[in-house]
């Protein structure tokens, strides 16, 4: 446990996976400064052999119910800048993590919590999850990694979320592309484990390169994306993964033909 963040490392076969849990269930896993700092710190301190990360909230009621309201109410212009910078730093750590980060969304995923989820690579939600950006209803704009929302759902739907402050349910989030999968709450862990198994079936170096490219595709012009994609493809062959994994695949294919 680091502050209000639980960190657990586990083995799935030969692979090491990190599970990070926001441990503020009594407050809907609201994000205070200490928790945001812990997320950024712990993500950046993960062992190099970790292959994937799961981020979730404790209990069944919330992934993260937004920024801590008591802390928000006490801010002034100076401390507001400091607080929102902590939100950004937590999100940036997730985006810069060299391996895939999967958001296990249970219950409410609001405001800064939705920004954390948007900063993850994949999102799997329970059917009873709810998503929203309620900041304007509290007299403040949605900022920092809320800028990821148009890339996920399109400009109009992102505007709907941040201008109305209304929540949407998991089915709507799936239809909009805000999450990749929705399952009954009782099957959430099964779905997350299946996604982990799919990620871990990939080559480690290839998956790290792919995450770098996914982030690049969101941020860079097309010509730069293509140019650096060529660099990443060629660099893959400096290691043993393509030779080993292609060899295994072709050998299995030949066995099936016999």
Active centre residues (catalytic):
115, 135
Q: Find the helix or strand (DSSP H, E) in which 19 lies.
A: strand 15-22
Which helix (H) or strand (E) segment is 160 a member of?
A: helix 155-164
Torsions phi, psi of 183, nearest 5? -135, 160
Contact assessment for residue 188 and residue 126, using Cβ atoms and an 8 Å cutoff: yes
Where would I find the H helices in the chain? 33-44, 69-73, 77-96, 112-119, 149-153, 155-164, 170-176, 188-200, 204-219, 222-236, 241-257
Which positions ≥6 away from 258 have C-beta within 8 Å?
none
As a residue count, the chain comes to: 258
How far is Cα 219 from Cα 200, in angstroms, rounded to an integer? 26
């Amino acid at each position: 446990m680091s502050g209000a963040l639980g960190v657990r490392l586990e083995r799935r076969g030969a692979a090491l996976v990190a599970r990070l849990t926001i441990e503020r269930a009594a407050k809907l896993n609201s994000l205070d400064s200490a928790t945001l700092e812990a997320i950024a710190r712990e993500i950046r301190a993960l062992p190099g052999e970790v292959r994937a990360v799961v981020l979730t909230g404790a209990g069944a009621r919330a992934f993260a119910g937004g920024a801590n309201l008591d802390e928000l109410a006490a801010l002034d212009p100076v401390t507001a800048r400091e607080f929102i910078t902590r939100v950004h730093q937590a999100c940036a750590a997730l985006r810069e993590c060299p391996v895939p980060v999967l958001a296990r969304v249970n219950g409410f995923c609001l405001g800064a919590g939705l920004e954390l989820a948007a900063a993850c690579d994949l999102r799997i939600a329970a059917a009873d999850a709810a998503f929203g950006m309620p900041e304007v209803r509290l007299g403040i704009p949605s900022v920092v990694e809320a800028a990821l929302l148009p890339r996920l759902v399109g400009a109009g739907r992102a505007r709907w979320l941040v201008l109305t402050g209304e929540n949407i349910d998991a089915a709507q989030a799936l239809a909009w592309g805000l999450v990749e999968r929705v399952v009954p709450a009782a099957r959430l862990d099964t779905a997350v484990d299946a996604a982990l198994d799919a990620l871990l079936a990939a080559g480690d170096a290839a998956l790290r390169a792919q995450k770098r490219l996914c982030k690049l595709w969101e941020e860079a012009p097309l010509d730069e994306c293509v140019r650096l994609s060529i660099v990443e493809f060629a660099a893959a062959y400096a290691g043993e993964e393509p030779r080993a994994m292609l060899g295994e695949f072709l050998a299995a294919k030949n066995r099936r033909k016999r």
